[in-house]
Amino acid sequence: MSDYNDMEMMIAVASRELEDGASVGVGTGAPCAAAMLAQKMASPNLSIFFEAGGVSPQLPEMPISVGDSRTFYKAAMAGSMGDTMEACARGFVDYTFLGGAQIDKYGNLNSTVIGDQKKPKVRFPGSGGANDFGSLCWRMMVLTPQDKKRFVETVDFLTTPGYLEGGNSREESGLPIGTGPYKIITNMAVMDFAPDSKRMRVISLNPGFTFADVQENCGFELLQADNLQQTKPPTAEELRILRDEVDPNRYVIGR
C-alpha cells in the first residue's frame, strides 16, 4: 500500500506544472489545493487569479466559493470578474485547471447537461467561468479520476473548448492562437495532446498502472508517447505541506 491517496497524487503532480513566476486561474477544490501547494513548494511567486476578482491572495485556508473573502485575503487586488477575465483575454494568464462530467479525446469538456438541453436528463452548473478560462488562458489542465464514464468518445454537450475537432480546428474557430488543453492529470496517468492530430496521448504512467489499465478506463482510443515516463509519486515534503498547511481539514484530499 502506498502512503498517499489518488487525490494527493493528482494534486502533487498538478502543482509541479506551475513553475515559479507563472500565473494561474483557479476554482475551488483540487485546483486551488494544487496552486497552494505549488506556492509553498517551488513556486512562491505564482500569481493566482480567481474569477470573481481576487488577485494574488495569500490563501489562509481553502475557499468554499471562488468569490468568498478568502479569495482576496491579503491579496494584491480585490478586483472584479471583468478584471480577471480581461487579463485572461489579454494573455496574462498562463494556466488554468478545469473539470467536468465528461471529457473527449480532444480535451473538450462537458459541465452543462446530460441529454437534451431543453429538457435535460441531468442538469449541471453549465460553463460558469470554465469556458472563459478554457478559451482565454494559454494552457488548460484537467484534474479528474480516470473513468470510462468521464472519458467519452463524444461529450453530450461541449461546454468548454479543448481542441474541438482536432487538427487546427481550435484556431480556425477564432479562439486565441496558441491556447488549448495542455495536460490531463488522472489517478492513473498524465496525458498531453499529440502535436498534429491534437489527440490525447499518455506521456506518463502513475506508479502501479500500465498503459492497458489507462486504456481500459477510457472510452476512446488513447495514443501512447514513444518515451513513456513514470510519474513521480508525492514526496514526503509535498505530503506534509498538503496535509498540514494546504488542507488540514482534508476537505479536498479526503480521509
Partner 1 sequence: MKHVNSWVYRLKNNKGTMNIIDQGQGTLFTDPEPDKARAVFREKNRQMVNKVMEVKEAVSTFVHDGDYLGIGGFGANRTPIAIIHEILRQGRKNMGLAGHTATHDMQILSAGEAYDKLDAAYVVGLEARGLSSCSRKYLESGKVDVTEWTNYALTLRMKAAAMGVPYIPARNMMGTDTFKYSAAKLAECPFTGTKTVLLPALYPDIGIIHVHEADIYGNARFRGIAISDLDLASASKRLIITTEKLIHHDEIARDPSSTNIPYYMVDAVCEVPFGAYPGNMAYEYFSDEEHLKEWLTVERDPEAFAAFLKRNIYDCPDHEAYVAANGGARKMRELRAKELLTFTEED
Site for partner 1, rule CB under 8 A: 27-29, 51-54, 60-73, 78-82, 85, 89, 108, 112, 117-132, 135-136, 157-161, 164, 169-170, 173-176, 251
Given the residues 51, 61, 216, 245, select the one marked as catalytic: 51
Contact 166/106 with Cβ under 8 angstroms? yes
Cα–Cα distance for residue pair 201/223, rounded to 1 Å: 4
Provide, rounded to whole angstroms, the least separation between the CB of residue 68 and partner 1.
5
Sheet holding 200-205, edge to edge: 77-78, 54-55, 47-50, 23-26, 95-98, 139-143, 180-185, 189-193, 200-205, 223-230
Provide, rounded to whole angstroms, the least separation between the CB of residue 25 and partner 1.
11
Q: Quick one: 116 or 237, whose CB is closer to partner 1?
A: 116
| Residue 114 bridge partners (DSSP) | 122
Q: Quick one: 108 or 206, whose CB is closer to partner 1?
A: 108
Provide, rounded to whole angstroms, the least separation between the CB of residue 95 and partner 1.
17
Nearest CA to 103 among 11, 205, 181, 25?
Answer: 181
- Element housing 26 (H / E): strand 23-26
Q: Quick one: 39 or 217, whose CB is closer to partner 1?
A: 39
Provide, rounded to whole angstroms, the least separation between the CB of residue 207 and partner 1.
29
- Residue 145 burial (CB < 10 Å; 0-12/13-18/19+)? middle
- Residue 189 burial (CB < 10 Å; 0-12/13-18/19+)? buried
Q: Is 171 a catalytic residue?
A: no
Q: Quick one: 65 or 235, whose CB is closer to partner 1?
A: 65
The DSSP letter of residue 137 is S
Locate 140 and state its grid cell: 488548460
Q: Quick one: 60 or 208, whose CB is closer to partner 1?
A: 60
Provide, rounded to whole angstroms, the least separation between the CB of residue 160 and partner 1.
7
Q: Provide CB contacts within 8 A for 116, sequence distance 6+.
A: none
What residues are labeled active site? 51
